[in-house]
Structure 1
Amino acid sequence: MTMKAFGKGAAIVFGGSGGIGQHVVRSLAEAGSDVAIVYRRKRELAEALAADIAKSGRKASAHAADLTDASSIVAAVEQAVAQHGRIHTVVFAAGPVVEQVPLAETTQALWRQSIDIEVHGFFNVVQATLPKLRESGGSYVHLGSAGHVWFPPRDGLSVVPKAANEALIKGLAKEEGRNGVRANSVLVGVIEAGMFKELTERGVFGKEWVDETQKLLAIKRWGQPEEIGHAVVFLATNGYVTGQQINVSGGFGV
Structure 2
Amino acid sequence: MAKFANGAVLVFGGSGGIGQGVAKTFAEAGADVAIAYRSKKEVAERVAGEIAALGRKVTTHATDVTEAAQVKATVADVLKAHGRIHTVVWAAGPVVEQVPLAEANEALWKRSIDIEVHGFYHAVQATLPAMREAGGGSYVHLGSAGHVWFPPRDGLSVVPKAANEAFIKGIAKEEGRHNIRANSVLVGVIEAGMFLELTKRGVFDQAWIDETHKLLCLKRWGQPEDIGNAAVYLATADYVTGQQINVSGGFGV
Q: TM-score, normalised by structure 1?
A: 0.98
- 1:110 and 1:19 mapped to 2: Cα distance? 21
Q: Does residue 143 of the first structure (1) align with residue 142 of the second (2)?
A: yes
Q: Does residue 92 of the first structure (1) align with residue 94 of the second (2)?
A: no
One-letter amino acid matched to 2:51: I
Which SS does the other structure have where 2:152 is aligned? coil
1:169 matched residue in structure 2: 168
* 1:153-189 CA distance string (max 9 Å, x none): 0000000000000000000000000001000000000
Paired residues, number: 252
* 1:88-135 CA distance string (max 9 Å, x none): 000000000000000111100000000000000000100001111112
Q: Does residue 153 of the first structure (1) align with residue 159 of the second (2)?
A: no
| Superposition deviation, residue 87 in structure 1 | 0.4
- 1:91 and 1:235 mapped to 2: Cα distance? 10
| Superposition deviation, residue 194 in structure 1 | 0.7
1:32 matched residue in structure 2: 30
1:195 matched residue in structure 2: 194
* 1:48-81 CA distance string (max 9 Å, x none): 2112211211000000110110000000111001
Q: Does residue 225 of the first structure (1) align with residue 224 of the second (2)?
A: yes
Question: Which ranges in structure 2 are unaligned for 5 or more consecutive residues?
Answer: none
What are the residue-to-residue correspondences of 1:56-71 with 2, within 5 Å? 56-71=54-69
1:102 matched residue in structure 2: 100
| Superposition deviation, residue 47 in structure 1 | 1.7
- Counting aligned pairs with the same residue, the percent is 72
Which SS does the other structure have where 2:17 is aligned? coil
- 1:222 and 1:55 mapped to 2: Cα distance? 28
- 1:225 and 1:209 mapped to 2: Cα distance? 21
Q: Does residue 127 of the first structure (1) align with residue 125 of the second (2)?
A: yes
Which SS does the other structure have where 1:20 is aligned? helix
- For the aligned residue pairs, the C-alpha RMSD in angstroms reads 0.7
1:252 matched residue in structure 2: 251
1:182 matched residue in structure 2: 181
* 1:225-247 CA distance string (max 9 Å, x none): 11000000000001000000000
Which SS does the other structure have where 1:186 is aligned? strand
- 1:26 and 1:16 mapped to 2: Cα distance? 9
Question: Which ranges in structure 1 are unaligned for 5 or more consecutive residues?
Answer: none
- 2:234 and 2:30 mapped to 1: Cα distance? 14
One-letter amino acid matched to 2:222: G
Which SS does the other structure have where 2:242 is aligned? coil
